[in-house]
Amino acid sequence: MARFFSRDRHGRRPLPSDGFDRALGIAHRWFLDRVGEVATIQYVTAPADMDWWRKDNTPPLISGGIGSSGQVALTLHRKFIELKYSDDGMLPERLYELLITEWAALTGKDVSEIDPEF
């Protein structure tokens, strides 16, 4: 597998780039190609309050909502995604799946309407 590196930083050795960031960039491009609308997409390493998801013992991979302006906001929970999907090669596909299914759920559309190949 090819290694990806960030740019040189003031003459120091290049640092390996973050695989999660790279995978999220790929998934976000796929998502925009299908949805055609911009959503606010962010990720958090771990929730500040860990008790809110323990009620059903299923850590959240993604959460989202729609603001008063109609803007969709999606939050990926990086720590839990990385624990569930440890294969970096499949990470862009898994992130895309999370984004597209959450978008469909929030907007009331069927996933097959958004991505017939899904």
pLDDT, tens digit, for every residue of 11-65? Answer: 555 545 578 888 999 999 999 998 887 778 888 886 666 666 666 667 788 988 8
Instruction: Note the pLDDT tens digit of each residue in 93-108.
Output: 999 999 999 999 998 9
Please report which helix (H) or strand (E) contains residue 76, including its range. strand 72-77
pTM for this predicted structure: 0.75
| Domains within the chain, CATH numbers bracketed | 19-47+61-103 (3.30.2010.20)
